Structure 1
Amino acid sequence: MRTEIASVDEAAAPPPADWAQTRSRVYAAGLAAALAAVERPLAEADGHTLAEPLTPRTDLPAFPTSSVDGWAVRGAGPWRVTGRVLAGHSAAPLTEDGTTVEIATGAMVPAGASAVLRVEESTRTPAGLIEGVARATPEWRLPGEEASAGEELLPAGTPVDPAVIGLAASCGHDMLRVRRQPRAALLVFGDELLTTGPPGAGRVRDALGPAVPGWLRRYGCQVRPADVVGPVADTLPAHVAALRGALDGADLVCTTGGTMHGPVDHLHPTLAALGADYVVNTVAVRPGFPMLLARLVGTDGRTRFVAGLPGNPQSAIVALVSLVAPLLAGLVGRPLPVLPQATLAEPVAGRGDHTHLALVRLDRVAGTAHPVRHVGSAMLRGLSAADGFAVIRPGSTGAVGDRVPVVPLPLLPGERAS
């Protein structure tokens, strides 16, 4: 899959890219630079992505397994008790009709058994014999009933969560071959930002430095406290030094602010100084259109990416769901996420030739999307009450009853939407 890349040295303000096409383009760029596969113990695999299909090492179950407590019997009753078999032990075969062994749930059914009689449906005679009528349906699980050895249970690209880990353990695996988790860093640009205390005197509180790492972790990235740097001084040398340093250890560097071409917007010149290429430069989406994704190939031959997030907080989150989410899916070999659909419960305005990503709260029982308030590009109040963004396509508006795609906000690895 080929990704068209534009040089940073080309025109500074190209036409903004279509939002839907941008997701596909960015995903292809990530897939082309997919991270190496590594071996991880099951206990450390949560949140990773399968690099190869998951297959059982044996048939599941590997041997006939009793599904009840009772008696494994041979032939017609009454039966003489010859022993006991518990879970975790191998069973000697039943070789004579009219014999039985006591058996526990999960224990291996002995060869020669014709049925398993439930304990609650059995009686013991004064002579110590077992009587009862076994059910017509076998009370054991047959080898391979769940899966055959070597059968593909999950494809490569499946996210690893606790359910997958449990399945892998039942298949006999101690290690999983997974894609290495991406390392991410964050550079916060803007001399006007405060990192403590309330805003005032022309300065605003940085909301993205504390928040973006959490979003990145929910997309499966590793982000250390030391990987968050800023505010970076509003000079070109400071930007170049900060980005060069962040790229040393990261697969993805997110930056906040500086994505336009104002007097203190140094991201574009910084990317040019470092020899970057654009994957996408501005996207026809509101809010958040001055977003970008660039890539650089290091001297080690490894590709790194820079996601330029706008400085307005909600716009930055739009850039995360639009650029970072599909990029990371490609980097770890997951499929490009298919957007779920919901029915609009209230009208949503269009944004002309731009895609409108409108914050909504979902009623998952009714399957409806409800727009939230306080959704200006500089606001985060609406985001805190939202489940995702309704997608209103260019040249359209969202009417009540319309079915629209929804870009969900990310969950922690292992979480699933209710």
Structure 2
Amino acid sequence: MLQFLKSAWPLLLGMMLLMVGNGMQGTLLGIRGEIEGFSTFEMSLVMSAYFVGFLGGSRLAPDMIRRVGHVRVFAALASFISAVLVLYPTLAEPWAWILGRVMIGFCFSGVYVTAESWLNNAATNDSRGKALSVYMIVQTLGIVSAQGLIMVADPSGYVLFVIPSVLVSISFAPILLSISPTPAFETTKPMSLRELFNNSPLGVTGMVLLGGIFSAQFGMSAVFGSKLGLSVRDISIFVATFYVGATLFQYPLGWISDRMDRRVLIMIVALVGGAAGVFGWMFTASYPMLLLAALIVGGTSNPLYSLLIAHTNDFLETEDMAAASGGLVFVNGLGAIAGPVATGWIMEVFGPPGFFMFLAVLLLLMGGYAAYRTTRRAAASVEDTVTYTPVSPSASPVAVEVAQEYAIDTRLEEDEAQQ
């Protein structure tokens, strides 16, 4: 593990700077949109556009890397990100922000694909699981740190748009000066969605719902705070709380999931998150109650991503697990595109409390469906289940496939030990 950190620290540092830039622009646009007089629905389209670009980038980036190489793709896409960030305050129109968010989503997806393939190349079979954990922690630290930077200047000015642009530009240096090109880029042919659903109805359905849940948190939490009239400081703390909760609960839930029926755990976690969403909906006027609701919703919804992947693997043959990753990421992306739009519409109808209403409904639906699935077939034996591997919902298909590879290696090692 020390050897991995020694070789990969420039990559991890660069990725943290990228995540700071990404976390800043999402929250900042939510606050600035209110200042510019954008409606809730217009902001929901702006936020949804990021996930349109992200899904497109995750599917096109591998071909770009094969044609021109990792270094050129990374440098080109990161340059576009830096440029778009400083254009936002210059073109403060909904259509311009929508186009900018599509481009930034596409570019961030391509950058993640490139960086995560480097990360996989730097890790060995023995360190891959720990490498993914470190990478996820770095991502979370970047997003949480970004919320603190929102408070250093006036969101109605230009400075806060320049900061993430500079950070993204700086992130090139440690990565491009220390990373050599990786071997030929390969991805696994994805499993068909029909076959994936037949193997794991809960995995596919849960991923669609979770896409909407995560994109609403990532895209609409700052919009919610702005519409509620919270100060910039309070909005920053509120947004950061989702990710703090994700970090606190990720590993304890992972430990538990390796020791019980994952469908039951998914049901419990989703229902607890749904109850917290109802709590936030009912006590919107109380800021401390909002923070508590955000902590629990973030702490339950984000680990559900890894839980659903692990649950799906439990009902797949080892040779099919890597192929399943592409389908899971795709259906999650579809849900992510719809999430901010649906949240914006609900907030237009019911006001700001509609934000937590949307989260509560989707989490309760997932919990209810997980309960239903426990009645449809027997649970997988705990001895036969794959190891839980933490993966962030903001990761690209490469990170999910790396997690699958780690799960496959672990299962094969366990099978050999039993023989």
Q: Which is greater in Rg?
A: 1
Where on the TM-score scale, by shorter chain, does this alignment land: which range? under 0.3
Task: Tell me which of the two structures has the higher relative contact order, counting C-alpha pairs closer than 8 angstroms and 6 or more residues apart.
Answer: 2
Say which structure is richer in strand: 1
Say which structure is richer in helix: 2
TM-score scaled to structure 1, two decimals? 0.25
TM-score scaled to structure 2, two decimals? 0.25
